[in-house]
Amino acid sequence: MEHLLSVWPTIIEKIQNARQVLFLSDFDGTLTPIVEKPELADLSEPTRSLLRELTSQRHFSVGIISGRALVDLKEKVNIKGIVYAGNHGFEIEGPGLKFVNPIVDEMKPFFRVIRQVLFMTAGTIKGVLVEDKGITLSVHYRQVDEEKAEYVQNLVERAISGPASRGMFRMTSGKKVYEVRPKVNWDKGKAIRLLMKKYGRGGWNSGLLPFYVGDDITDEDGFQMIEKYGNGVTIHVGEQYKSSSARYFLKSPDEVRIFLGRLLDFKKRGHLCEQYSTTSSPTGPQLPSL
């Protein structure tokens, strides 16, 4: 895994050879820092401005793919003209696009039962937040005492044990969160494939260059989909992580913002600015603040 900013000429060459760029990103931990409570996450105005400007560039499409509910994601990002994929891609909206996975309506009665059980069990533990996202649930335990973390996991597993025994729901884990979602062949990777088909008709020969930026386990499906496509840029946010399928990494949401600034600069000027020239530093070049 290489630090993206230290191999910037490679990224520029990819963009120069592309007919269309599809920039996709996770939200929490990628565009914004991880916070104790989901409602506290705040997209900075510099990052929002960069995304908005990128959206206006010719042959450039932007999308945000998140585990958040679609309504919540749209409210947090608040940029017109981009693609929003909520609930890990179970619901997607964008210019000329509206998609809801058909399994959602079938699962709703069972989902309501699981939601009620989790609110009555895990939801009563100090520090646990049960987040109802309409068609998925998140059980956050970042503020729970360490010795109770396993107990929270057991409660979630128990809550889905009935429907899960019939293959209806599954639990996945992330950064201090357990996700409950329908157990169907759908994830962020499948959502990305749907978007790649829309924006890159003709497959690999379409000239589409997809980017995906993410920080968590659920983003690995997205990385794997783009790596399978064979012509894209996958970026893990955090320290270098050997187990990730991503090819590049950025250390933090701040470096993601710097990367977005470089991307916009190139799209506007068509060439690298002298002030953004790279160095041979293994941790990336020294960059001006944006």
Annotation marks residue 216 as catalytic:
no
C-alpha 68/C-alpha 199 separation (Å) is 23
Closest CA to 214 of 65, 94, 71: 65
Distances in whole angstroms, Cα of residue 129 to Cα of each of 18, 126, 248: 43, 9, 33
Residue 219 tokens, joined? 């983003």
- Contact (CB, 8 A) for 133 and 139: no
Mode of pairing for the β-strands spanning 137-140 and 129-132:
antiparallel
Q: How far apart are CA 231 and CA 195, in angstroms?
A: 15
Considering 26, 28, 187, 221, which one is annotated as catalytic?
26
User: Residue 241: helix, strand or coil by DSSP?
Assistant: coil
- Residues with catalytic annotation? 26
